[in-house]
Structure 1
Amino acid sequence: MSSSLRNRLAAVVMAVAAGLLGCTPASEPGASSEPAKPHRVLNTTAQPEDTIRVRGDHTERLQAFLRLRYGDKAALDAPWKDAWEDTEVEALRPVTRRVCARDTATADGQEQTLLAVCQTLDDAATVEPGRVDLYVLRVGTDEEKTNRGGFFAQLPADDPLLVMAQRLQGQYGRHGSPGTVQIAQLGPQRRAFQISHEEHRRGHRRVWRSYIAEHNHRLRDVARYRDHLDNLALHGCDGNPADCGEGVFAVDFNTTVGDSNAVEGYWPLTVRASGHDCTGPATAFYHLIFDARQRAYPVPDDLQRDGCADS
């Protein structure tokens, strides 16, 4: 039994006992009457329960999960304002949270939901990233929980919502915004969070594509490479790089997901580079094949154009 669950049960027992005795616990001497600061700090020290016992349809279960994790303001279909405690500057700062990706499908005979919560820092500096929380959820059964210890079979609600995997507070993007998140199909039963975000450094603009998928009950980076690369701002040039002088480049990378020859359930990826890199016109194709030993798609160095990125 988790410590958080033991604490919650202890609180329930104390409340029931107090009610039966017709009294309420007295306040401790010297207790402050001031409201406490929010405890949902940005680094997510509070872990979500691995099980949520609630009756209702799928939407009601997801709403209950969000409220348990983020508080009563949380909503499935609308952003909500919140505050987080920045321990570095010892101040409360505003944040806007929203469900930015959500998809439910059947995988290995089980219905699973991929859920992403994006968090934008409302007063962020340009270099500050946004944050993304990623979850893989599934409706379980009392039999499953009985096999995990037997305690949950005593609780009144049916069919718990299980947190199968999670990754909290992933840092992406700039100016407090984490970029865009969507659900991608990488194989017959392999879905992944696709996160696209950009960063700016010394006149260079980079747009990254990351695929994060569940593998053995863990969310792993199965691929990460560039979607775009340019240094137009460095040269004050917004036209065709070939007409802007030496050392100016702009390259786009377009990805196509295959539909056959899956490895470990992952289809191959084809990435097409086009544009003008730091060595001249750039047109090339890269075929990324999932490597079961690495649990990822190996990305060749020349696709990344690190030589250009560092110039």
Structure 2
Amino acid sequence: MPAATSDTFDARSDAPVPDAAPVGMPGGAVRQFLVHQYGELAQLQGDWPGVPLAADLGRRDAMREVCAREAIGTPDAPAELVAVCGVPDGAGHVDTALTDFFLLRAEGAGVAAEARQHMDAFGSTGDVVDVSVRRFGPRVFGFVVEEGFTAQGVTVGSIAIVLPEGEGFGLAAHLRSSLDNLGAMAACAERGDCADDAGYDLGFTLEIDRRDAGAAVWPLRVRESGEACGRRVERTHQVPFDMGSGRWTVPAVLQRDGCE
């Protein structure tokens, strides 16, 4: 997917400023849009089985549900961000979830997708932990996807930020939310062969730094805390947004798989 440039980065300029109440669309119109994409069983609450009707949403059988829906528009230009999450039939431990992202706007008496993207890069066992909509700038909204994976006693939690990008969506940041080897340490303790100071248990709290009122997209601030191989860790990482690439510049320390 091509990176956005400072000239083409999509800030969705008709979205509301922070003090305005975002405006969405009637639930019936949004459901009808979903029916056109997924079939008559699609609904706003609860899950449904089957293969999408729209070819760009994949051809896999899955149980799907609306996992995020948030109003982001104005009275003159109602809009919503909607995510549909699917657990593929027969999903195993290494299978990712199916996630479809939509930026919806009113079109006549109905709803149309100004941007849409099918992704299958998040989660494990066919599922993600959570999907939510957050504001990342005065006029910029996007999805936060929480995911996790456990293997050989190591658990890695991550957050992905997905923003509208032209007629689709792009991955704008990927960073840790948790990191521990508690399972591995419990196993080696039973065997009596744990290495000295080998354990780690870290949490990462994501905050959006809104202090710069003039920023088109706000930087992120990540607070890291916990134990890392015999050391107590308490530190804060600054994550700036690069307008040229349309991405946050995530340091390697927030994408690591161990103590450092």
Interval of TM-score (by shorter of Structure 1 and Structure 2): 0.7 to 0.9
- The correspondence for 1:73, drawn from 16, 22, 41, is 41
- The correspondence for 1:281, drawn from 211, 224, 232, is 232
Equivalent residue, structure 2, for 1:253: 204
Q: Which amino acid aligns with 2:152?
A: R
Deviation at 1:159, TM superposition (A): 4.4
1:167 and 2:117 are equivalent in the alignment: yes
Q: Which amino acid aligns with 2:65?
A: R
**Which stretches of structure 1, 4 residues or longer, exceed 6 Å deviation after superposition?**
none
- The correspondence for 1:114, drawn from 73, 76, 81, is 81
1: CA distance between counterparts of 2:90 and 2:165?
36
1:272 and 2:239 are equivalent in the alignment: no
Larger relative contact order (CA 8 Å, sep ≥ 6) = 2
Deviation at 1:202, TM superposition (A): 3.0
1:197 and 2:197 are equivalent in the alignment: no
2: CA distance between counterparts of 1:127 and 1:191?
30
Equivalent residue, structure 2, for 1:135: 102
Equivalent residue, structure 2, for 1:43: none
Per-residue CA deviation, residues 127-151 of structure 1 (Å, 9 max, x unaligned), is 21211111111113xxxxxxxxxxx
Flag the structure with larger Rg: 1
1:62 and 2:13 are equivalent in the alignment: no
Change (3 A) 1:222 1:169: closer
Deviation at 1:288, TM superposition (A): 1.3
CA RMSD across the alignment: 2.8
Is the contact between residue 255 and residue 272 of structure 1 (CA under 8 Å) also seen in structure 2? Answer: yes
2: CA distance between counterparts of 1:139 and 1:72?
21
Change (3 A) 1:209 1:109: farther
Q: Which has the higher helix share?
A: 1
1: CA distance between counterparts of 2:77 and 2:211?
23
2: CA distance between counterparts of 1:213 and 1:73?
28
1:103 and 2:54 are equivalent in the alignment: no
2: CA distance between counterparts of 1:285 and 1:108?
39
Change (3 A) 1:107 1:303: farther
Change (3 A) 1:231 1:307: closer
Deviation at 1:106, TM superposition (A): 1.8
Equivalent residue, structure 1, for 2:178: 228
Deviation at 1:246, TM superposition (A): 2.0
Q: Which amino acid aligns with 2:66?
A: V
Q: 3-state DSSP class of the match of 1:82?
A: coil
Per-residue CA deviation, residues 85-119 of structure 1 (Å, 9 max, x unaligned), is xxxxxxx9862110010011226963211000010
2: CA distance between counterparts of 1:305 and 1:81?
36
1:293 and 2:244 are equivalent in the alignment: yes
Per-residue CA deviation, residues 218-255 of structure 1 (Å, 9 max, x unaligned), is 3122211000011111122699xxx9942110110001
Q: 3-state DSSP class of the match of 1:63?
A: helix
Q: Which amino acid aligns with 1:173?
A: G
Give 5+ residue unaligned stretches, structure 2: 1-24, 53-58
2: CA distance between counterparts of 1:285 and 1:260?
16
Deviation at 1:303, TM superposition (A): 2.8
Q: 3-state DSSP class of the match of 2:113?
A: strand
Equivalent residue, structure 2, for 1:21: none
TM-score (norm 2): 0.77
User: May I ask how many residue pairs the two structures share in their alignment?
Assistant: 226
Per-residue CA deviation, residues 204-231 of structure 1 (Å, 9 max, x unaligned), is 2111101111134431222110000111
Equivalent residue, structure 2, for 1:17: none
2: CA distance between counterparts of 1:98 and 1:132?
10
Give 5+ residue unaligned stretches, structure 1: 1-56, 85-91, 141-157
Equivalent residue, structure 1, for 2:161: 211
TM-score (norm 1): 0.65
